[in-house]
Structure 1
């Protein structure tokens, strides 16, 4: 933001000029006329870094950009790409029952996309609320038709949440601070359980005071009790990713 003289009769004297967000939008406010202009620059499209990648149920590859929030779908067989606009920055993605789900920053919004209806854009289902900002972990559990979401809180808030969304009924459950003052940043589904990993970095300085938690809970019951699981290392600060191997083990 800056205060400058535009040397334009429409904006006499000095005007306050600034950029709004990351979309090329700018504002001009002139104090003498009390007029505010908000406009988008006609800039050509630019490449952005790939922020997140996920495989869809149909084999397509979904990638989200940083920080523009555009989503691209690649068909690896035909090499055809489709751009899904106005989605937002996807912190987490997961497939369930043939559909894709995107956890969008900011505001921890959940979007749903049906790839069989390519003419439609992803639709917003809800915002998590409860002081949450980034839906960083997502996993679908087909047998119980539930989507599990791990979130990171807004700046100034303490503690993430575990969100359960029933894709059939539309019911959601938000369990804030399931692990006190920690965020749930990784999830995996295996053999009737949802496995999770936390981070001690959740808005509060817990370095040297707490360890991240590896846990599991029965899938299907949003309010199931969590079971802490042992780790091979001491005092981890975060369990950033979980994966189910062909050896039927959970790798972290």
Structure 2
């Protein structure tokens, strides 16, 4: 990098700080003999942590994992060790010795990206599921060894093995999906898998007397020793409560402490309450007081960015369903609690006036937030969740734009196990939500853009929980508000699109491999191709004539009318999100760090 390029962008801050608790358990801590609530925290773009909270004093400790973002799996092995799985790029298994407060050598699961939830089997070993191999892993705490026991599903399109249950003696019960969905029982002694249960059913409870599964609101029961179906025999009246009801009516999972109290977490907060005195107490809202997790939240990946009309920059965290605000004038930043009741992250962020409109995975949620009003998400006051487009549409991968009609438009992927996508529109005045499913049948909406006349979107073969289809023809589509789909362009066979799309003055610029294609919406044709050195991670409108394309470690400025391009700046790494302010300052993120390229330093 030459000195001129180095001077162009400036490091700003690491403003995204949040918890994303994916697993929890409790221990009697050998360090001091006190009971602790244990949280497994995922930090996308950073390093995961384990948080221990003293259930009496509320004091907290945080321990960073040796490597990895963190994950769902956490097991208390006899109050001696915590066993933790991680994701995203590489699945690691970590073991934390509670007495010495030290980590064992990390164990990678070769070929796997995710560890999911884990369980202790009747052989005292620990088992967990994976992605993308749909495998069952076995960890031996004595030998500190990790073994892959093989694929759970015979269907090669199934990539997920989750969750797993070890309470049935001699067996590990494993769910698989998402091309097809079903269950297998791993017989520990023989090392073999056998079919179990009904496809689509979920595990309700395992006790000494029964295994209870639930599907379509109907309970089915099995013998925990033989796995054979059995009659109800009054078991449905014996099922233990799994959730409490918060003051807003939302159900929230809990675990039971040795004292009998209930403990659980919700986003950035946790609770400890007395257990209801009767079964009916679990079926009505309780007086739950949420407390902030009592340790410092780690840096997390900046996933989306947008400026407001007061000179501040807003963004979302890469996981954990929170947003942040950064003030360049003071350097101060603020991080929110959960913006909605579902887990996941915010993809779409646009301001209409002083109100921030959000679109979030995994519930297909539309959310509106007024920064000038008090925060009261728990009661759905501010931020307020509007009509969801789930369960049909759940991931707003295309993100959100302001359409020519003034509506907030968002592009979506379909639910897990389904190829497809859709569009939605929020009316900023009435907050009414409209949606359109599968405008290009069987294809996800990859990128979304708008100019003063049209909505533009690209499609591809990606899907939640399924391997991306490469045998389809991707599209560039033109949509007119109030009319619908008015034109599509099918891309050449083998060409793939993703998020990279922006538009201005009847021109759309989309990223295809190492090219920026410029499309004329009036002439209905691609008129220019700009070759670049790397694939494009993000593209945004700089003004009515030019766009900025973040390609690898270079930021290009491209003229939509001539195709002329120049390098604006070298970059510190591949970016995750970018936006431009009214003054022309370009803010962008690389993992957890926020940078700015000021308009006065652009060539």
Deviation at residue 197 of structure 1 after TM alignment? 1.2
Contact 1:130/1:176, CA 8 A, preserved across alignment: no
Task: Please name the residue that 1:105 is paired with.
Answer: 361
The residue correspondences of 1:21-60 to structure 2 (distance < 5 A) are: 28-29=255-256, 37-39=262-264, 40=270, 42-60=294-312
Q: Does residue 470 of structure 2 align to residue 213 of structure 1?
A: no
Residue matched to 2:323:
71
The alpha-carbon deviation at position 91 of structure 1 amounts to 1.6
Q: How many residues align?
A: 236
1:235 corresponds to which of 494, 513, 520: 494
Equivalent position to 1:181, from 442, 445, 453? 442
Shift of 1:38: 2.1
Given the two structures, how large is their TM-score scaled by the length of structure 1? 0.76
Equivalent pair of 1:146/1:164 in contact (CA under 8 Å): yes
Partner residue of 2:503?
244
Distance 1:157 1:76, change over 3 A: same
> Which of the residues 162, 169, 187 maps onto 2:423?
162
Cα deviations across residues 76-100 of structure 1 (Å, max 9, x unaligned)? 2343323332226212212234422
**What's the counterpart of residue 122 of structure 1?**
383
CA RMSD of aligned residues (A): 3.5
Separation (CA, whole Å) in 1 of partners of 2:263 and 2:309? 41
Work out which of the two has the higher radius of gyration on C-alpha atoms and give 1 or 2: 2
How has the CA–CA distance of structure 1 residues 7 and 42 changed in structure 2, closer, same or farther, with 3 Å as cutoff?
closer
Structure 1 residues 200 and 59, CA gap change in structure 2 (3 angstroms):
farther
1:90 to 335, 338, 346: 346
Match of 1:61 among 313, 324, 328: 313
Q: CA–CA distance in 2 between the matches of 1:7 and 1:79?
A: 39
Quick one: which of 432, 438, 447 aligns to 1:171? 432
Deviation readout 1:223-247 (Å, 9 max, x if unpaired): 512411365x6532223221236x8
Distance in 2 (alpha carbons) for counterparts of 1:36 and 1:158: 44
Q: Which runs of 5+ in 2 are unaligned?
A: 1-22, 31-36, 43-49, 54-73, 75-253, 265-269, 271-292, 376-381, 511-603
Q: CA deviation at 1:214?
A: 0.8
- Cα distance in structure 1, aligned partners of 2:391 and 2:486: 20
Change (3 A) 1:191 1:21: same
| Alignment CA distance shift 1:4-1:70 (3 Å) | closer
Q: Distance in 1 between matches of 2:305 and 2:25?
A: 41
What is the rounded CA distance, in whole Å, between the counterparts of 2:427 and 2:452 in structure 1?
Answer: 19
Q: What is the correspondence of 1:3-22 to structure 2 with a 5 Å cutoff?
A: 6=28
Alpha carbons of structure 1 residues 98 and 19: separation in structure 2 relative to 1, 3 Å = closer
State the TM-score, normalizing by the size of structure 2: 0.35
